[in-house]
Structure 1
């Protein structure tokens, strides 16, 4: 069981990536600004590879922001939307990035299936290349030896915290939406099992619901339409004290819309962040002078949810974790290449960078799998912000 709990860490977020379409602000979130570094050194560059806007807008925008912050230091590229079937393209794109002899570090987020193969090819070209992989889609035993550092949300912690938050928000029933492709992965089904176990311990009824796969015949529109139609049925069947969770990013906006309309409970998104799902679902426009202002987006979201009569029943993490990992990866690489940080996988140094970017302390731990310590695999757990409650 211990192995299974630890393994849940690796895939949950990235496999929810398929057809991810969150809508973050397009500027650096307050409390998540790049460190003041002046002009970038001329002797190195840091490369970032992310998904496209349609697959992972948060990390894509974070890469843009780091490019704007360090225009002479940062170079960027994306991997294909259908990354599962186009791993050779991912490898090619990575090699194109690192073929620039001035590139000394690579930040890979989300580290989709095939990332380890791409990293291996990059390391063949540049053995000393610093590689930081975030939100990984491969098992720890695969990605950890390939990358110098791996960053992931603490899915083990979330296995309890999501359900505990649902309980705190008044849930009596918990509906878990996923699909066979996700649940065929032991890591994702393992987290599902943890959620179910915690639900039983807390006296919450656990309901496993199967949704269409966004990579299937009906695509993203079909998966989203299913959520729009099925959530009201679930609320009618189980009541408003029902909490919902879905493993896919593209499902978050319709999920938030229908939960709010039905007065149900939403503890967090698959990728917890103030920018994931909520602005798009609630029609929140972010003016230029408020772009990247986390307090603004939290207040506006709270206002919308309160106006709709559902305060205190929907929440998220205060830290946009995918954006945080991109920015932290770049800042770590910069400090390492400048000589401020002397180790390729210094957890305390990374924790400090994450805390500084997040504007407050974060919890960071090393992954242990079945008695095996992964000294370069660090997991992060954020805190909840409940809309309609004071901070």
Structure 2
């Protein structure tokens, strides 16, 4: 009798377990999390939104929260200890198996050093680094960056097609201390000379300075009309800073000037805010909708073809595709931390149009002073006219 009861008990337990598993729509493949670190909404809203989107996608896929979100401070140059503390704080959670940092602001390398003191098992991905490539590539496992040097030629080619006779480059000393941004500025100047375009090197306030982002934005609002008055409508404008893009786009639009691309090429970067585009709930994440709205507004104001960008929001791609890459690594889909084919696959999957059409993405490895980095991937995508 006892044997019968025991067998019945075992059968009951097994039946309950089977029913529980069968009743779950989503199954977790392990007790892990991914940490995503971005700027604040005022510094770069699209990066923060990309992190939120990734978080929700993982909840939908696994039925549980797999993503920890964190931001670095707005004035990160003055608060690098906070940058370090925020990144190291996420890594202190033993469930976190990967970090995706975008943008890699100054202080990121020091934060990774702190993390590696206790965690050498993490996959660390850094997108759009503001630190020296040698420094960040030696610490992060994988780095993603727009092909800044390729843009040094591509942006001027595009400005020439748009009819630019003058090219204004807004930046500030901190950004010009970044090797890639400084080298790109030099290429801008060189290619302007080749095409007979006047190059204007304009210094703007640093948004991490005393005046903050609002002070830098106000400068742009006031300075663009002065530059157009001085050089004419066929003046192309470019700024190296994210927070400056909305006022720059708005001012270019009002002055009927030229805008080849945002600093971080994307239909979302600055355009919706500058052109007052309301995105309905059912169109959130619909890049085609945003592009159509920008084109409609430009057409109504005789600005067709005087603005352009990349069809893919590049920093959002670094975050969302980077998180997918990290997830596959955590789940054992591949073992090595640097897998170029998987990176291309994740980028390509992200960049597909709503119709499933693949957008051509040119990926190369950074080469600097004769040294090729095997973990520093550069991305270049062709323009779409707006």
Quickly name the TM-score band, shorter chain normalised.
Answer: 0.7 to 0.9
Q: Specify the alignment match of 1:69 in structure 2.
A: 57
Question: For residues 253-292 of structure 1, what are the structure 2 equivalents within 5 Å?
Answer: 253-292=246-285
Checking the alignment, whether the CA contact within 8 Å between 1:220 and 1:250 is kept in structure 2 is yes
Which consecutive unaligned segments of at least 5 residues does structure 2 have? 1-24, 60-64, 353-358
Q: Specify the alignment match of 1:375 in structure 2.
A: 374
2:33 equivalent to 1:45: yes
Q: Specify the alignment match of 2:362 in structure 1.
A: 363
Compute the displacement of 1:39 (Å). Answer: 3.9
Which consecutive unaligned segments of at least 5 residues does structure 1 have? 1-36
TM-score (norm 2): 0.87
2:81 equivalent to 1:93: no
Q: Deviations over 1:83-136 (max 9, x none)?
A: 112222222222221222121111111111111111122122111111011111
Q: Deviations over 1:182-228 (max 9, x none)?
A: 33444433221110001111221111122223233433333222222
2:251 equivalent to 1:252: no
- Aligned to 1:250, the other structure's residue is in SS state coil
Compute the displacement of 1:308 (Å). Answer: 1.2
Compute the displacement of 1:64 (Å). Answer: 0.8
Counterparts in 2 of 1:197 and 1:366: CA distance versus 1, 3 Å: same
Match of 2:71 among 54, 73, 78: 78
Higher mean C-alpha deviation, range 172-181 or range 143-152: 172-181
Q: Specify the alignment match of 1:57 in structure 2.
A: 45
Q: Specify the alignment match of 1:26 in structure 2.
A: none
Compute the displacement of 1:383 (Å). Answer: 1.7
Look at both structures and tell me which one has the larger radius of gyration over its CA atoms.
2
Count of residues paired in the alignment: 351
Q: Specify the alignment match of 2:383 in structure 1.
A: 384
Q: Specify the alignment match of 2:187 in structure 1.
A: 194
Compute the displacement of 1:283 (Å). Answer: 0.6
- Aligned to 2:320, the other structure's residue is in SS state helix
Higher mean C-alpha deviation, range 341-350 or range 222-231: 222-231
Question: For residues 144-183 of structure 1, what are the structure 2 equivalents within 5 Å?
Answer: 144-183=137-176
Q: Distance in 2 between matches of 1:217 and 1:52?
A: 17
Q: Distance in 1 between matches of 2:170 and 2:260?
A: 14
Q: Deviations over 1:6-50 (max 9, x none)?
A: xxxxxxxxxxxxxxxxxxxxxxxxxxxxxxx95442232211111
Compute the displacement of 1:311 (Å). Answer: 0.5
- Aligned to 1:223, the other structure's residue is in SS state helix
- Which structure exhibits the higher relative contact order, with contacts defined as CA atoms closer than 8 Å and separated by 6 or more residues? 1
Q: Distance in 2 between matches of 1:361 and 1:188?
A: 24
Checking the alignment, whether the CA contact within 8 Å between 2:149 and 2:180 is kept in structure 1 is no
- Aligned to 1:135, the other structure's residue is in SS state strand
- Aligned to 1:318, the other structure's residue is in SS state coil
Q: Distance in 1 between matches of 2:313 and 2:38?
A: 15
Match of 1:347 among 331, 337, 340: 340
- Aligned to 1:332, the other structure's residue is in SS state helix
Q: Distance in 1 between matches of 2:265 and 2:138?
A: 27
